[in-house]
């Protein structure tokens, strides 16, 4: 998944929802296919949940990847979903990250927003498709 593809998806989502998206960081090179698919599905799950909340007015996204691993952060600024509702949406993604040695966490600040973080160690991020 090239960074331009993700940026384009985010821009389309922002236009269709009216929720501002600020991209803080994206990797300079494509991610391996299996990781790219997982990241994209996770981002879409989070955005879908934030859109359904109704109070979220802006979202910030950072995705970094390198030899030491991958870090994904999606923050929605607003009242946010109830933590259990968003956690339910991400249960499958957390299991998928765990299969690769990583995980997903949800942090809610009442009245302030929600941040979803996901991480993978370096090995799954640097593995090439077909290996």
Q: What is the pLDDT along the chain (131 residues), one digit of tens a residue?
A: 556 788 898 999 999 999 999 999 998 888 888 899 999 999 998 888 888 767 788 999 999 998 889 999 999 887 655 666 677 778 999 999 999 999 999 888 877 788 999 999 987 665 544 44
What six digits make up the tokens of 127?
Answer: 């593995």
Q: What is the pTM of this model?
A: 0.86
Q: What is the pLDDT of residue 103?
A: 95
Tell me the helix, strand and coil percentages in the chain, rounded to 5.
45, 30, 25
What residue ranges define each of the domains in the chain, with the CATH number in brackets? 3-126 (3.30.565.10)
Q: What is the pLDDT of residue 69?
A: 92
Q: What angle do CA 73, 78, 82 make, to 5 degrees?
A: 80
């Amino acid at each position: 998944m090239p960074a331009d593809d993700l940026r384009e998806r985010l821009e389309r989502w922002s236009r269709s929802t009216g929720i501002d998206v600020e991209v803080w960081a994206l990797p300079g090179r494509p991610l391996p296919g299996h990781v790219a698919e997982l990241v994209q599905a996770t981002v879409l799950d989070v955005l879908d949940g934030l859109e359904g909340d109704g109070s979220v007015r802006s979202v910030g996204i950072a995705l970094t990847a390198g030899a030491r691993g991958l870090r994904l952060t999606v923050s929605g600024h607003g009242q946010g979903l109830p933590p259990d509702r968003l956690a339910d949406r991400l249960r499958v993604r957390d299991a998928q990250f765990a299969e690769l040695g990583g995980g997903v966490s949800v942090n809610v600040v009442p009245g302030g927003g929600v941040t979803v973080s996901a991480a993978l160690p370096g090995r799954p991020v640097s593995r090439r498709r077909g290996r």
